[in-house]
Structure 1
């Protein structure tokens, strides 16, 4: 990857990462609305009124959703970059 290409791809990658994080948060909240015990918000790990099981399940679901959304966004960004520049962004 040339210096010019890298200079172009880096801000694009940062922007898509931020948007991916926001999208992952939205997707997780929607999933938690359907999976959680009628709670709109996922449990805070420091909230001792919530069960350990509920906190750990929420953390696992959040991590999985974030990982999947981040991988999908990164892949789409890399594919789009290659389509525009005919170079791999690595």
Structure 2
């Protein structure tokens, strides 16, 4: 038998909070993918130690932020992840337009 689980619903009262989580996810994603580009450049310039440190820091910050968001529930975590994906799309689009 499957237990009754609470279902997260989107209401007018929860929309502002979800918008904040989306913006937080987008900002986190923009920072994450921008530093990913910096890490790639550092690896190509043979600065492996700095690139590895930046990579570890990038993963740690992402994991820490997503862990704290997950404490708010599944829906805020999902909305934050959507913000990350949207930020990735914008960063990749910006990079592909600027590179020859």
TM over 0.5: no
Q: TM-score range by the shorter chain?
A: 0.3 to 0.5
Q: Which is bigger in relative contact order (C-alpha 8 A, separation at least 6)?
A: 2
TM-score computed with the length of structure 1 as normaliser: 0.44
TM-score computed with the length of structure 2 as normaliser: 0.41
